[in-house]
Amino acid sequence: MSPERHQRIREVLRQRQLDLTVCLENVHKPHNVSAIVRTCDAIGIHRVHTVWDERHKLRGGTAMGSQQWVRTTNHDTIGEAAAALKAQDMQILVTNLSQTAVDFRDVDYTRPTAILFGQERYGVSNEAVALADQDIVIPMVGMVQSLNVSVAAALILYEAQRQRQIAGLYDKATLPDEECQQLLFEAGYPRLQKMCKRKGIAYPPIDDHGHIVASKAWWQQLQVSPAVLQALHADEIAG
């Protein structure tokens, strides 16, 4: 990994926003999912949440776009997702045209926030609306009354970024060092990462210059087959 790439990754990780996220409820078109995840990466969201039923579930994790940089947590139900978000003290906003909805720009996004987006044709479910803390809308003066879900997500997320930058929330690193180390290794050494994953070897630390800090034994583990490595581990446990 070059020093330039290492510093770039470090800077990206330093600005990750752990208390800002989106939740996608049955957003199933691959190009929409990919575009939303790409926007999440662009504004520094670290993790997105998804809920897919069997009708809308993407096959094999298709089209998660910038998934190398944005973590994904999938939930079986919208109730489970909402509970997980509220456990993190997040306000849940939902894009929904209602009498109680407010302009998306009038919301305080400096608070821990999760923004819920619904399925492309029908929007969010009634259960999702009931679980949210506030309905939000994007004002429109044309004939159409809705935007593509990925476009709507971009508009709202960049308003959140604007508010957070003014408040200085991008100036303080919040991502735990352990996770930074994991991402640094995965992004800086993708071939070694695949070998570690295939053989079940723990990632080594990365120093301040982007270099791997590992013992001779760790390097030797990469040169043996998974079967041999498993046998060695079994012997160590038995001993």
Q: CA-CA-CA-CA torsion for 124, 129, 130, 136, nearest 10 degrees?
A: 170
Please indicate if the annotation marks 138 as binding a ligand. yes
Please indicate if the annotation marks 147 as binding a ligand. yes
Torsion sign (Cα): 145, 151, 152, 155: negative
Please indicate if the annotation marks 157 as binding a ligand. no
Tell which phi-psi region holds residue 58, choosing left (phi > 0), alpha (psi between -120 and 50) or beta: beta
Residues in contact with 37: Cβ distance below 8 Å, sequence separation at least 6, in sequence order: 48, 64, 65, 66, 67, 70, 72
Which residue ranges make up the annotated binding site?
95, 138, 147
Annotated binding site for S-adenosyl-L-methionine: 95, 138, 147
